[in-house]
Amino acid sequence: MRKLFRTALSIISISFLVSCNGNTPGETSDEFKPSLNTDTECEITIVGSYDNFEALEAEFDRFNVYYPNVSLTYEKIDDYNNVIGSVLEREEKPNIFFSYTWMMGNSKYDSVIDHMENLSDSSLKLNLDCIRPGLLSHDSNNNVLMVPVFSRTYGTLVNENLFKKENLKVPETWTELLNVCKSFSDKGYKSPMMGYTAKSSSYLMNTIAYPSFVAELANNPTALNLANNLDPSAGQYLRSSLEKVKALVDNGAIDVEECDKIADNYNKVILRFFEGDVPMMVCAGDTVSGTKKRESQSEAFVASPFDYSFYPIPSTEKGGYFIDSPSIEFSINKRCDDLEMTREFMRFLVSTKELNNMASLKRLVTPTKEMSFDSVYAPFGKVPQERTFSPEVIGIKDPLTAQVRIAALKVGRKTLTVDEAVAQYGALRE
């Protein structure tokens, strides 16, 4: 019954979002029509950092319906961020590669950016209109060099059965969150909220602090400017976010020592959550994407399955935030072989139908205007528009996010006080 309710809610939410974000004028039809000789034989290689990309491989099969003789391969690149430059220059050059907004403006990736084709070039006929505008990044020439294929958000996985078992309601406000955590603590749960805390890339602290900070800056351009420029004075805008981290740790909601037992930011986080004794596992949507496949890999979950959903962390008395930012983006290597077929594949892929299909398979949020949530993301459908932010739209730059991440981790681990972290904003290092 509950699942049914959730599914129905998802459908209503999606319908609402679709109606709010209806197709913009000029959006072309989603029906793909081959523009090249369908007998063309060639090889297309897509390189990225994912170990597995079955959702993309499914798209290969769908593309092969039109072009049966095109061989498409996904290749995982080791040490992607450091090696991608060489990979793009190798003898058998990849056609499409993963790209990230943080690469732009980083001189280390100038050569990578240089390989990116302008996807907003009208001659490519890419249907960029199907993508939510907030997720599209533009370079200084207003060109679109990368197309998001998934959207990332931040929140917490909630073990619904555990809440039910303890007769507790999933918190919707900051106060409720504190109370729920206390209740769990009182009932013997060592760390009602958990997550990966070992490195600064940790989602736990950052996921609590970052959405609040983004919300703080969204309506304050001056603060945003200062924060982007890593001006120490911008630290004051981070204070309330960091205090929330501190409060949760101090409150016993987060036991850092217990969280440190989680060895990595993805697989172990999921498997720990599936142990069934963690009420809330804080993570990003990327982590949620791995849950489905790992259900069968977790002996504990197979033995005692439970319902779970991904909720925004209620960091205000009104509720939580929905931070909508690109997860993975694709760029075309303009120096690859078979460039025309590469563009054709991108034309095929960049459509509401295919991107939604891929997001569904990957259990991630689609970047298209027609958002289709997996049922596990249903709670995000309830977040109102005023609490939905796109960092790219607001203009938040990567150095800023790094400062927040480090500050949150250090405050959470109590290596810095809130005051120290605020004061050191702009100069915080790993």
Partner 1 sequence: MKKIWVVIVNVFIMISMVVFVFIYASTETKAITQSQIENFENSTVTMEQVTENYLKGEQRICDVWAHYINSEDMTMEEATSFIRVSHVLKNASAHLLYLDTQTGKSTKPKTGTTDEYDVSYSNLGLLNDLSWVHEIGTSINVSRAYTNPINGEQSIAFCNYITLKESGEAKDSILLRVLPVAELKDNWVFLKEKFENAELSIIDANGNYIIKGNSFKNSSFFEFYKSYNNIDSTKAQVLFNKITSETGSLTMYNSRHEECIVAYTPFNATGGWALLSLMPKKDLIVDTENWFLIGVITSGLIILFIFDLIVMLTFNKKLQLTAKEADSANKAKTIFLSTMSHDIRTPMNAIIGLTTITEKNLENEKIVAENLRKINLASNHLLTLINDILDISKVESGKLNFVPQSFSIVKTVENLMNLSQPMIKEKNIDFSFHISRMDKEYLYADQLRLNQIYINILSNAIKYTEPGGKVSVDMKEEESEKEGCVRLTYKVSDTGIGMSPEFMANMYQPFSRQTDSRINSIQGTGLGLAITKQMVDLMGGTIECESELGKGTTFTVILDIPIAEHQRSEMKLNSMDVLIVDDDEVLLETAVDTLESLGLKAEKAGSGLEALGMIKHREGTGKNYDIVIIDLKMPDVDGIETIRRIRSEVKTNVPILLISAYSWDDVEEKAKEAGVNGFLSKPLFRSTLYDKISEIVGSEVTSTEPESDYSDIEGMHVLVAEDNDINWEIISALLSMYGITSERAENGRICLEKIKEAKKDTYSLIFMDIQMPEMNGLDATKAIRALEDPWASKIPIVAMTADAFSENIEECLNAGMNGHIAKPIDIKLVIKVIRRIKEESKK
Q: Which is nearer to partner 1, 31 or 78 (CB)?
A: 78
Angle at 320 between CA 164 and CA 104, to 5 degrees: 130
Q: Which is nearer to partner 1, 85 or 399 (CB)?
A: 85
Considering just the CA atoms, what is the radius of gyration of the chain in Å?
Answer: 22
Q: Which is nearer to partner 1, 10 or 298 (CB)?
A: 298
Of 156, 368, 386, residue with least CA distance to 248? 156
State the minimum distance, in angstroms, from the CB of residue 50 to partner 1.
9
State the minimum distance, in angstroms, from the CB of residue 247 to partner 1.
36
Q: Which is nearer to partner 1, 11 or 58 (CB)?
A: 58
State the minimum distance, in angstroms, from the CB of residue 288 to partner 1.
18
State the minimum distance, in angstroms, from the CB of residue 362 to partner 1.
13
Angle at 99 between CA 290 and CA 29, to 5 degrees: 85
How far apart (Å, rounded) are the C-alpha atoms in residues 382 and 259?
29
117: region left, alpha or beta (phi > 0 left; psi from -120 to 50 alpha): beta
Tokens 């000789």, residue located? 37
Strand, coil or helix: what is 99?
strand
Q: Which is nearer to partner 1, 82 or 222 (CB)?
A: 82
Q: Which is nearer to partner 1, 58 or 128 (CB)?
A: 58
CB 9 within 8 A of CB 2: no
Q: Which is nearer to partner 1, 54 or 231 (CB)?
A: 54
Q: Which is nearer to partner 1, 60 or 189 (CB)?
A: 60
| Helices 204-218 and 398-412, axial angle in degrees (round to 10) | 130
How far apart (Å, rounded) are the C-alpha atoms in residues 123 and 166?
59
Q: Which amino acid is at 121?
A: D
State the minimum distance, in angstroms, from the CB of residue 100 to partner 1.
16
| Helices 239-250 and 204-218, axial angle in degrees (round to 10) | 150
Tokens 């993570």, residue located? 283
DSSP run (H or E) holding 177: helix 174-186
CB 324 within 8 A of CB 153: yes
State the minimum distance, in angstroms, from the CB of residue 74 to partner 1.
8
State the minimum distance, in angstroms, from the CB of residue 85 to partner 1.
8
Q: Which residues of this protein are in contact with partner 1, per CB under 8 A?
A: 51-52, 54, 57-58, 60-61, 64, 71, 73, 75-79, 82-92, 111, 293, 296-297, 302
State the minimum distance, in angstroms, from the CB of residue 48 to partner 1.
11
DSSP per-residue codes, 194-246: E---SSTT-SHHHHHHHHHHHHHHHT-HHHHHHHHTT-GGGGGGGHHHHHHHH
Q: Which is nearer to partner 1, 87 or 371 (CB)?
A: 87
State the minimum distance, in angstroms, from the CB of residue 223 to partner 1.
35
